């Protein structure tokens, strides 16, 4: 792979160990009480609407502009509390029965913590709905997860979420839990967990408990983004590290299903501010940011040849769906899902 333009590097620092602990037991306890629902049902109950080619400020000076983009609603555009980061889709999953995108958001305020949430988006209806990702215990308690969730990828029913300092958290999309099946209302929108005999999730109807984890065998590298390469015979999970100013962020690939240990291969990318990476049909696609006021870049390696393509402001994680490369933009008033040619 030296000809890819990415520099091969030692694989051992990125080795992962499975760390299920009591996560599966906690998720099973909560699912037994609440009952699970399908992703398709969440999409059918979507309560927000995206706007086709809205939030045009996200495109900045990009020429040509993407053929397709969808903007989150005004409330999600305006909030300073939640920032979109990760992106995956129904084609990555191959188990979700309708076209869909999934977007992760992290909660930013200095005071208080509401963790991370996941948006289920229909590109057909442009309707979407948020769900809260939670950590559940075998005693039936649960609470928010305080991580950046900079990237996500879905393989089958499993959702992989980047945990910056630890590795990967795993959520089972068969365990999307509808609190309305357990009680008549959604509880207090200022609370999470069990209070006063009711279940609360900051007002969200749906919660998804973590079921598994893959943690770094040794401290050191960070996990900033995740994607899945389905262009070869064996799907590969791609993950790696954002570095603000240094060009030596890494990227690695694991065969799926996950067996832990070292990645199949690992590379130093040679560029700072990489927010997402995707390998597909022999090429590498790198999403490079440039802050909230300047257009990012899409860096494409074919062999050792680098092509630099225009990209919107604030590009993040990457995924491939419907023959296009998709990403999500993060900044206030500029929050979109957009697709460009591969």
Mean pLDDT of all residues in 89-117: 93
Whether residue 89 is predicted with pLDDT greater than 60 in this model: the reply is yes
Q: How confident is the model at residue 5 (pLDDT cuts 50, 70, 90)?
A: low
Predicted confidence (pLDDT) per residue in 10-67, tens digit: 999 999 999 999 999 999 999 999 989 999 999 999 999 999 999 999 999 999 999 8
Q: How many CB atoms lie within 10 A of CB 189?
A: 11
Q: What is the CATH number of the domain that holds 210?
A: 2.120.10
Give dist(CA 301, CA 308) in Å, integer. Answer: 9
Query: What is the DSSP pairing of strand 283-288 with strand 192-195?
Result: unpaired
Give dist(CA 208, CA 117) in Å, integer. Answer: 9
Give dist(CA 50, CA 48) in Å, integer. Answer: 7
Give dist(CA 164, CA 238) in Å, integer. Answer: 14
Global pTM reads: 0.96
What torsion do the CA atoms of 200, 204, 208, 209 make, to the nearest 10 degrees?
-30
Q: How confident is the model at residue 2 (pLDDT cuts 50, 70, 90)?
A: very low
**Residue 224 CA: distances (Å) to CA of 78, 162, 237:** 25, 6, 13
Q: How far apart are the first and last CA of the chain?
A: 20
The residue range of the domain holding 148 is 2-341
Q: How confident is the model at residue 6 (pLDDT cuts 50, 70, 90)?
A: confident
Predicted confidence (pLDDT) per residue in 311-330, tens digit: 999 999 999 999 999 999 99
Q: How many CB atoms lie within 10 A of CB 205?
A: 20
Contact of 173 with 240, CB cutoff 8 Å: no
Predicted confidence (pLDDT) per residue in 225-239, tens digit: 999 999 988 899 999
What torsion do the CA atoms of 255, 259, 261, 264 make, to the nearest 10 degrees?
-10
Structural domains of the chain, count: 1
Q: How many CB atoms lie within 10 A of CB 232?
A: 12
């Amino acid at each position: 792979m030296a000809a890819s333009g990415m520099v091969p590097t030692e694989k051992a620092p990125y080795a992962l160990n499975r760390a299920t602990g009591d996560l599966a037991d906690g998720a099973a306890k909560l699912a037994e009480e609440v009952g699970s629902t399908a992703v398709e049902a969440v999409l059918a109950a979507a309560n927000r609407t995206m706007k086709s080619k809205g939030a045009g400020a996200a495109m900045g000076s990009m020429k040509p502009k993407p053929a397709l983009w969808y903007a989150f609603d005004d409330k999600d555009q305006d909030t300073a509390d939640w920032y979109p980061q990760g992106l995956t889709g129904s084609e990555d999953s191959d188990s979700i029965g309708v076209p869909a995108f999934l977007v992760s958001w992290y909660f930013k305020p200095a005071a208080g913590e509401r963790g991370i949430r996941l948006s289920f988006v229909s590109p057909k209806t442009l309707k979407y709905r948020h769900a809260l990702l939670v950590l559940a215990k075998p005693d039936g308690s649960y609470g928010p997860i305080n991580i950046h969730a900079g990237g996500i990828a879905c393989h089958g029913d499993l959702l992989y979420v980047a945990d910056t300092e630890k590795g990967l958290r795993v959520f089972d999309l068969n365990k999307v839990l509808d609190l309305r099946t357990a009680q008549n209302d959604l509880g207090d929108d200022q609370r999470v967990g069990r209070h006063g005999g009711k279940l609360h999730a900051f007002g969200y109807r749906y919660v998804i408990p973590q079921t598994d984890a893959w943690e770094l065998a040794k401290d050191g590298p960070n996990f900033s983004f995740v994607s899945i390469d389905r262009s070869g015979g064996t799907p590969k999970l791609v993950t790696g590290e954002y570095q603000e100013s240094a060009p030596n962020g890494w990227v690695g690939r694991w065969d799926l299903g996950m067996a832990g240990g070292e990645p199949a291969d690992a590379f130093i990318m040679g560029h700072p501010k990489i927010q997402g990476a995707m390998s597909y049909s022999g090429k590498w696609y790198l999403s490079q940011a440039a802050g909230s006021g300047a257009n990012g870049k899409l860096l494409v390696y074919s062999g050792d040849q680098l092509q630099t393509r225009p990209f919107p402001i604030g590009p993040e994680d990457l995924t491939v769906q419907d023959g296009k490369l998709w990403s999500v933009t993060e900044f206030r008033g500029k929050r979109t899902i957009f697709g460009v040619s591969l």
